[in-house]
Amino acid sequence: MRLMALEFRGVSFRYNRKTTVLDGFDLRVSSPATVLLGPNGAGKSTLMALAASQLKPLDGTVTWKGRSPTARRDVRAYRKAVAWLPQHITPVPGLTVREQVAYAGWLKGMNRADAWKASAVTLGRVGLDKLADRRSHQVSGGQLRRMGIAGALTHHSELILMDEPTAGLDPTQRKVFRSLLEQLADDVHILVSTHQTEDLADLYQHVVVLDRGTVRFHGTTAAFHAMADSADSAEGPRERAEAAYTQLVGEEI
Ligand SMILES: Nc1ncnc2c1ncn2[C@@H]1O[C@H](COP(=O)(O)OP(=O)(O)OP(=O)(O)O)[C@@H](O)[C@H]1O
């Protein structure tokens, strides 16, 4: 069986001549729930977009279970297995929530009937069954993100990449989303970039800290928190995470 791991090997990427974001970058993420932290401009979104095959490395490879989105024979399987939840989800005009979820399955190669059937189940899983018939442009930001997850579950993604999934959500929506992430961890891998450090240990087994295209820390959440043990102010989980982060990056989240 191929190992469930996302690997960046010798990856280089720049947007233009001046902005090199990654240069010979290596990272291997294999834990089911990993959080990616880093200051603004660290390269988190770029890393996620490369893993989502929205961007192409100038050099090196990105693989999931040994498959690369840039290899012709792998591209379909890779895109089916790896789902991408960008920060801003654009609803397809005119489609209902359920239609859009089924559409996500169809886009990944499912037949219409299977995608439609699966969409009812996955909407239930994300708690949106009551909104299934509502137009997708008439739901809130948090509901849109849950709809995106339902789409990823519909085509049985193995890894869901999420860029700042709780940004801009009110505390109630954030709580709903976090409990959904907790449930997801049972059967799908997640890689989440975030600035929200509260209760990292409840959700993630591993932490990656990225700073200017370099991995400053990669280890268990317990090891990450342990770095803050000597800090006086590190009382609650959030404070401990922030203290650990500050030690690594030298600034607050
Ligand atoms: N489309 C683009 N064109 C040119 N430069 C870009 C583009 N997108 C990002 N960059 C630059 O690439 C670098 C990495 O940006 P990226 O968005 O990946 O960082 P980030 O860690 O996600 O930051 P944030 O937390 O602010 O979202 C930054 O210097 C940024 O200014």
Our answer on whether the CB atom of 15 is closer than 6 Å to any ligand 1 atom is: yes
Written as one string, the DSSP assignment of 91-117 is: PPTT-BHHHHHHHHHHHTT--HHHHHH
Q: Are 134 and 88 in contact (CB under 8 A)?
A: no
Under the banding of pLDDT at 50, 70 and 90, the label for residue 7 is very high
Question: Is there an atom of ligand 1 within 6 Å of 38 CB?
Answer: yes
The protein residue with its alpha carbon nearest to ligand 1, atom 1, reads 15
Please give the structure tokens belonging to residue 23.
């240069």
Q: What pLDDT is attached to residue 117?
A: 97
238: pLDDT confidence band, cut at 50, 70 and 90? confident
Question: Which pLDDT score, from 0 to 100, does residue 232 have?
Answer: 56
Q: What is the pLDDT of residue 230?
A: 60
Q: Is the minimum distance from the CB of 249 to ligand 1 under 6 angstroms?
A: no
Q: How far apart are CA 123 and CA 190, in angstroms?
A: 18
Confidence of residue 233 (pLDDT cuts 50, 70, 90): low
pLDDT in tens, 41-63: 899 999 999 999 999 999 999 99
Residue range 156-215, pLDDT digits in tens: 999 999 999 888 888 888 888 888 988 887 789 999 998 877 778 888 999 999 999 999
Q: Give me the percent of the chain exceeding a pLDDT of 90.
A: 63
Band of the pLDDT at 34, cuts 50, 70, 90? very high
State the pLDDT at residue 242: 84
Q: Report the pLDDT averaged over residues 95-118.
A: 95
| Contact indicator for 95, 135 with CB cutoff of 8 Å | yes
Q: Which atom of ligand 1 is nearest to the CA of 49?
A: 18
How many whole angstroms from 129 Cα to the centroid of ligand 1?
36
* β-bridge partners, 29: 6
Task: Name which residue sits closest to atom 6 of ligand 1, judged by CA.
Answer: 15
Structural domains of the chain ordered from first start: 6-95+158-249 (3.40.50.300)
Cβ of 157 less than 6 Å from ligand 1? no
Residues 143-159: pLDDT tens digits?
A: 999 999 999 999 999 99
pTM value is: 0.92
Contacts of 115 (CB under 8 A, 6+ apart): 102, 103, 104, 105, 106, 154, 155
Cα 48 from Cα 38, distance rounded (Å): 13
The residue count of the chain comes to 253
CB of 46 shorter than 6 A to ligand 1? yes
Between CA 189 and CA 187 the distance in angstroms is 7
Q: How far apart are CA 128 and CA 148, in angstroms?
A: 11
Among protein residues, the one whose CA lies closest to atom 10 of ligand 1: 15
Tell me: pLDDT of 246 over 80: yes
Q: What is the reported pLDDT for 201?
A: 80
- Structure confidence at residue 106 as a pLDDT band (50, 70, 90): very high
